[in-house]
Each structure stands twice: as C-alpha cells, then as structure tokens.
Structure 1
C-alpha cells in the first residue's frame, strides 16, 4: 500500500532496491526465464515491465481499468493481465515490450461489475496456453488460448486451492 515494490535480500534481511509506482501495487511476478525483469500491475490502470539492474520501467501499457492480476506465461514470452472489470488481456512480451495480442471479457450478467474482478492466474504445468483464471464472482475458468474450456462455480470453490486442481489430473482437464 506504500505504492512501491521492494526487492529484499533474504539472507541479510535488507532492502536492495525500491521501485516506485503512482498508486497501490496489486500484483508482481518475476520473468520466469530472465529474473532481471518483473511485471507489475497497479490500481492506476497500468501494467509495467521493469528492469531490475536499471531500476526503471522498460515498457508499460495503460488498461484504463484497475489492474488486479498479472503474470508471465511459463516461457516468459507473454503475459496475462486481469482487471477489476473482468477483462483479461494477453500480451506478447518478447524483448520486454508489451504488445497486446488479444482480450477476453469474462461475462457474468447476473452480478455487478466488481464481482468480475480477476483475482489470479495459474498456467497448467508445461503449457503456455492452458490457464486457470479465478475471479471475484466465485468462478474458476479454464481457458486454452482464447477458448473457454471449463467453468466451475459454487461456494465449495472457496476451499479448493490451485494445487488441489493441479493434483487432481492432467493439467486442468
């Protein structure tokens, strides 16, 4: 809530670097194949790719919606970004540039818009296209690319972890 991302040395328990944002930071993830970079999302509606050695933003995109979730694809060549209004944007992140490839809007006509908020992403092991998306409407959606493969809903989902879904079978099938 202090509008920063802080990089810590766990052995010395000291803060190595501070990356300032203009609003609350809601999500971050290191690039899984090049840990000199990380992606961050903020309530200011921007998703940013940061260079850790240079301590600066190398690229950013304004969604014009509060960013609530962001993650890299397992190969580090793409990123998924989710918003408060329920949109999921897929970006190409080659050369640490954000180039939007597609957008998917989660539909839930019975609920208010804030119930569509994307709360998290998890890719299936070994896949850069099959992803589990959680949202504030108590639903878990599984997408393969831009295609909806499964949708689960119900109160019982509050007790299920991503690990349990992954352990239950091959990928998310």
Structure 2
C-alpha cells in the first residue's frame, strides 16, 4: 500500500529491488518464461510490466477498475487478472518485448460487484478435462472458467 513493489532475497532477508509506483501496488507476478519481466497490478487501474534488472517500465495497459489479482498461463503469453468490481480480463503478452494487449473481459454472473482476490490458472483440470481458470471474490464466490 506504500506504492512500492519490493523484491526480497529470502535467504538473507534483504530487499534487493524497490520499484516505485504512483498508486498502491496490489498484485505481482514474475513472468514464467522471461525472468526479467515482472508484472504488477495497481490501484491506478493498470498492469505495468517492469524490467526486473533495471526497474524500468517496459509497457502498461489500463483497465476499468483497480487490478486486484492476477496470474500468468504457463507459456507467459497470457495474463489473467481480476479487478475491484468482479471482472476478469485476459491480456496477451509478448514474451520477448513485454508488450501487452487487452483481449477479453468477463463479468461474473452476480449482481454484486465484489473485488477479485485470487486468480489462478492451471493447464489441466480433471473436472474440466482441460485448462481451467479459478477466481475467488471477497464475498466468497468461486468461479471456474
């Protein structure tokens, strides 16, 4: 909530990188393939891709509400994120350049607009017999895609 994303070296208990934002940083994910990319969702309705080594902004995309949760697919080509009003977005990401493009928005079926607190992607689920995206909202709703 102090508008920073901090990277820690756990074994030594040292903060090794501080990335300063303009608003509270609400969720963060390392890219699963390119270790130099760090994706951060924030209260300013953005996902920002940072170069982990330099801390510089590579790209960003804007959403309708605060980005409260996110996950990458295993290839790093997609980011799934949830916002403060219960919407779930799919964002395409170029794994070489870090360029983002928003591709799909899905609102949960509930009339309540509860913030998404968890987004988790799996390549295979026995229940779905294929890829599955699980979301959880602050009001306790589970949604499978």
> C-alpha displacement at 1:52, in angstroms?
0.7
- Secondary structure at 2:71 match in 1: strand
Q: Any stretches of 5+ residues in structure 2 without a counterpart? A: none
Q: Is the 8 A contact 1:39 1:71 kept in 2?
A: no
2:107 to 105, 108, 130: 105
Pairs within 5 Å for 1:56-75: 56-75=56-75
Aligned to 2:26: 26
Show structure 1 runs of 5+ residues with no match: 144-173
Identify the residue that residue 166 of structure 1 maps to in structure 2. Answer: none
Larger Rg: 1
| Bigger strand fraction | 2
Provide, for residues 34-75 of structure 1, a one-character-per-residue CA deviation record: whole Å limited to 9, x for no partner: 221111111111111111112111110111311111221121
TM-score, normalised on structure 2?
A: 0.87
Q: Any conservation in 1 of the 2:124–2:131 contact (CA below 8 Å)? A: no
1:26–1:43 CA contact under 8 A, matched in 2? yes
Hey, what does 2:15 align to over in structure 1? 15
Query: Of the two structures, which has the highest relative contact order with CA contacts closer than 8 Å and spacing of 6 or more?
Result: 2
Instruction: Tell me the CA shift for residue 10 of structure 1.
Output: 2.1
Question: How many residues are treated as equivalent by the alignment?
Answer: 139
Equivalent-residue separation in structure 2 for 1:10 and 1:136 (angstroms): 29
Would the aligned equivalents of 1:45 and 1:67 in 2 still touch at CA under 8 Å? yes
